[in-house]
Amino acid sequence: MARKKRITWTWQPDKGLLAWEYTRAGVVLASSDGPRPVGEALSALMDVVSDLDDGGQEAEAHRLMEEWVEMAWGLRHDVDPVVREAIEEACHEWWEAEAEEE
């Protein structure tokens, strides 16, 4: 059975804007504060992942990072080349780290 997603997001490719919310048990714990340029929105979500990891919530950080990678990889073809390169680099680093852990 698939786990329920923690991140809900809205992508506006024509404007390059991404909005997201991190929700647990129906409570919004963090958000992008509305649509933001995609690079900024993805960075803000990465900050949430880092904060969780630094706070000792490694399992939750891991779960959010999996969702971040899925989301970012899915929209990489609709962003400018600089953001696309950053997305691809971050995703490949994640996958390599995951492979090393297995």
pLDDT for 1 equals 58
pLDDT tens track for 57-73: 999 999 999 999 999 99
Q: Which two tokens stand for residue 80?
A: 């400018």
Please tell me the distance from the alpha carbon of residue 58 to that of residue 75, in angstroms, as a whole number.
26
Write down how long the chain is. 102
**pLDDT exceeds 70 at position 2:** no
Q: Which residues contact 39 (CB under 8 A, 6 or more apart)?
A: 79, 82, 83, 86
pLDDT tens track for 77-90: 999 999 999 999 99
pLDDT for 102 equals 75
Q: Which pLDDT band, with edges at 50, 70 and 90, does 101 fall under?
A: confident
User: DSSP letters of 46-80?
Assistant: HHHHHHHHHTT-HHHHHHHHHHHHHHHHHHGGGS-
